[in-house]
Chain A
Amino acid sequence: MNWKQLTKSKPLLIGSSLIALLMLMMLISLFYTPYGPNDMNSGIRLSHPQLSHLFGTDNFGRDIFSRIMKGSQTAFLIGLSSVLIGLSLGVLIGAISGYFGGWLDEVIMRLMDALLAFPGILLAIMLVSVFGPGLNNTIIALGIMSIPSFSRIARSGFMQYKEFDFVKAAIAKGAGPLRVIWYHILPNIASSLIVATSLRFSGSILAEAGLSYLGLGVQPPDPSWGRMLNEAQPFMINAPWYVLITGVIITIMVLGFNLLGDGLRDLYDRKS
Chain B
Amino acid sequence: MEKRVLTCIGCPLGCTITVEMDNGEIKSLTGNTCKRGDDYARKEVTHPTRIVTSTVRITEGEIPMVSCKTAADIPKEKIMDIMKCINEATASAPIKIGDVLVENVAGTGVNVIATKDVKAS
A binds B: no
Which A residues contact B (CB, under 8 angstroms)? none
